[in-house]
Homo-oligomer: A and B are copies of this chain.
Amino acid sequence: MKRNVLIIGAGGVAQVVAHKCAQVNDRLGDLHIASRTKAKAEAIIDGVNAKGAMKVPSVFRAHAVNALSTAEVAGLIRQTGAQIVINVGSSFVNMTVLEACIETGVAYMDTAIHEDPAKICETPPWYGNYEWQRRDRCKAAGVTAILGIGFDPGVVNAWARVAEEDYFDRIDSIDIVDINAGSHGKYFATNFDPEINFREFTGTVYSWQKGAWQENTMFEVGQTWTLPVVGDQKAYLTGHDEVHSLSARYPQADVRFWMGFGDHYINVFTVLKNLGLLSEKPVKTAEGQEVIPLKLVKAVLPDPASLAPTYTGKTCIGDVIKGVKDGHPREVLIYNVADHKEAYEEVGSQGISYTAGVPPVAAALLIADGTWDVGIMANVEELDPKPFINLLNQMGLPTRIKDENGDRLLSF
């Protein structure tokens, strides 16, 4: 049994985490949220209270923290008595927050791979560069550290594990397809922090195929996928966290990640990239000012959180898994459809934030009740997927499966 949750971060995903924690605070205990700017954390709590989201009257407190400082985070953990830390701050702070959790012996979660601000696209497997180097120390300290427990990575990893357990004797390929068929009505916007968003697409695209890392460039390999609700959608081979852990568990399988992009997004991205405006290296203006182009691009783009009120349409994220069962070839699609407007109405965030923010709260419940309190570092596919999927079915992110037996809710 673990109790009391500390949320690190105060962006769109943190807001979803806050609302969802509040809805089950009878099982999670005290809630805390900490951000570099305390006012942002306070605003999230105000939103939670405005919705009357707290299931039972209890503590929900805002804090200021510099999450790049392990000592500050550890101090806050001790001060709040939190036994579960949900880190949904910038990917740059993951390792300092994890270190604080190891130091204080509490459970850690994040939703994206650690990034060094000075590096783009490190060598695969990405988890090997930072996270997995701390596996032994987590084990020695008995610290539960769940990596990448958002939607993708996260839920899509659990689906692969379900496929392994129930649907295949041998998995030959896992294609994770992420389609946002929603519309935000702006000329151009990214669905989360533009700086992190663009970093995903400016480096090498790694995929795991034929037992080896394959390298491509962004938008080099595209394919039209036909998915439930959203229909035919063009998606492109993209480097993504889960490819780097699933390929370790399923080395015999091809593991690829596909992200949907409209022609307009690709055009704007291509113009910005080719002009050098997505660079993180400072350039000097004629007036002698040093400017990092990507920081300026971030500044002129809409704040992702501002998109939520008018966002409409659906997302569909699925695992297309092929392999063999009982000697016969088989193909299964395991997927979720989320709705931007419904997400906004429930928690004040758009659908992309919603799909990323609900899963760590489900995981927190599983750590709180002991089910997932495994005392080691784990990627999601290493954990029992079924209680997690059952919880998500109740929490607004139902898993569906489509195979030779039809299209239906998946539960256990």
Contacts and interface: CB of A to CB of B under 8 A. Distances in A.
Given A188-B275, A275-B188, A296 B296 contact: yes
Interface in A128-167: none
B271 A285 contact: no
Given A296-B291, A296-B293, A275 B268 contact: yes
Of A271, A286, A293, A298, most buried by chain B (CB within 10 Å of CB) is A271
A401 interface: no
B301 A275 contact: yes
Interface string A277-306: 101000111110101010111111100000
B267 A286 contact: no
Contacts of A275: 187-188, 268, 272, 297, 300-301
A300 B277 contact: yes
Interface string A56-78: 00000000000000000000000
Contacts of A226: none
Number of copies: 2
Contact of A271 (B272, B287, B298): B272
A274 interface: yes
Nearest to A186: B274
B277 A299 contact: no
Interface string A186-203: 011000000000000000
Interface string A249-279: 0000000000000000001100110111101
Given A277-B277, A291-B291, A286 B271 contact: no
B299 A291 contact: yes
A275 B298 CA distance: 10
Contacts of A283: 296, 299-300
Interface string A322-359: 00000000000000000000000000000000000000
A274 B267 CA distance: 13
A212 B412 CA distance: 76
A276 B289 contact: no
Nearest to A298: B286
Contacts of A268: 271, 275
A187 B267 contact: no
B293 A300 contact: yes
A274 B187 CA distance: 7
A289 B284 contact: no
A293 B289 CA distance: 12
Interface in A113-128: none
Residue of A279, A295, A299 most packed against chain B (CB within 10 A): A299
A285 B289 CA distance: 14
Contacts of A267: 267, 271
Interface in A236-257: none
A295 B299 contact: no
Nearest to A292: B285
A219 to B, nearest CB: 15
A188 B274 contact: yes
Nearest to A187: B274
Contacts of A286: 295, 298-299
A104 to B, nearest CB: 29
Contacts of A291: 289, 291, 296, 299
Interface of A: 187-188, 267-268, 271-272, 274-277, 279, 283-287, 289, 291, 293, 295-301
27 contacts: A187-B275, A188-B274, A188-B275, A268-B271, A271-B271, A272-B275, A275-B297, A275-B300, A275-B301, A276-B300, A277-B277, A277-B300, A283-B296, A283-B300, A284-B299, A285-B296, A285-B298, A285-B299, A286-B295, A286-B298, A286-B299, A287-B295, A289-B291, A289-B295, A291-B296, A293-B296, A296-B296
Q: Considering the complex of A and B, which 10 residue pairs feature the smallest CB-CB distances, nearest first?
A: A276-B300, A271-B271, A285-B295, A187-B274, A285-B299, A283-B299, A291-B296, A291-B291, A268-B271, A296-B296
